[in-house]
């Protein structure tokens, strides 16, 4: 039951669909873990997680997680709530990532691994991002890459997403 995580807010349908898709992927021996974007089923916070946020996914690495920012209940719907990235080992540990959930999902499909959303925020040119991507691919085993691509494709198709550019 996800309700305790969301308080008085209605859980966005995309969040419910993420959980359903993860269950389907697991039946096929796959997981969102391959793209660093795991939907949360239980409370996941660190001391620097803002008290007015609702974490909904984590990357699986270094405590990095994504959350809706509710502005202490001033946001009417989580569909329109800004998305933040909380990265406990970075300074500053909190970064604004997207204006809303839909924009955030478009960013997730624009990267190979959701943890890159945290890394790319400070990059000023595509060459820096491309070097990071090449290094990531070079360090990835071929079967892992194939499975990651399959998860990415199903994620993109399930939500009818077009990748957003970071540099626009």
- Condensed to tens digits (0 to 9), the pLDDT of residues 80-90 reads 999 999 999 88
Q: What is the pLDDT of residue 17?
A: 95
Q: What is the pLDDT of residues 46-87, one digit of tens each?
A: 999 999 999 999 999 889 999 999 999 999 999 999 999 999
Confidence band for 156, pLDDT divided at 50, 70 and 90: very high
pLDDT single digits (tens) 109-149: 888 889 888 877 677 777 777 788 788 777 878 888 899 99
Q: What is the pLDDT of residues 24-43, one digit of tens each?
A: 999 999 999 999 999 999 99
Report the b/e string of 69-103 with b at 16+ CB within 10 A: bbeeeebeebbebbbbbbbeebeebbeebbebbbe
Average pLDDT over residues 2-29: 93
């Amino acid at each position: 039951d996800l309700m305790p995580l969301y308080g008085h807010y209605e859980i966005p349908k995309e969040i419910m669909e993420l959980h359903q898709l993860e269950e389907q992927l697991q039946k096929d021996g796959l997981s969102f873990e391959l793209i660093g974007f795991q939907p949360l089923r239980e409370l996941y916070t660190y001391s620097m997680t803002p008290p007015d946020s609702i974490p909904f996914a984590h990357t699986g690495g270094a405590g990095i997680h994504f959350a809706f920012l509710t502005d202490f209940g001033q946001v009417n719907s989580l569909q329109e709530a800004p998305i933040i990235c909380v990265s406990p080992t970075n300074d500053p540990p909190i970064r604004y990532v997207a204006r809303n959930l839909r924009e955030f999902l478009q960013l997730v499909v624009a990267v190979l691994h959701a943890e890159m959303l945290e890394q790319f925020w400070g990059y000023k040119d595509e060459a820096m991002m491309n070097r990071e991507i090449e290094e990531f691919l070079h360090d990835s085993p071929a079967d892992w890459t194939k499975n990651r691509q399959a998860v990415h494709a199903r994620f993109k198709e399930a939500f009818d997403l077009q990748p957003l550019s970071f540099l626009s």
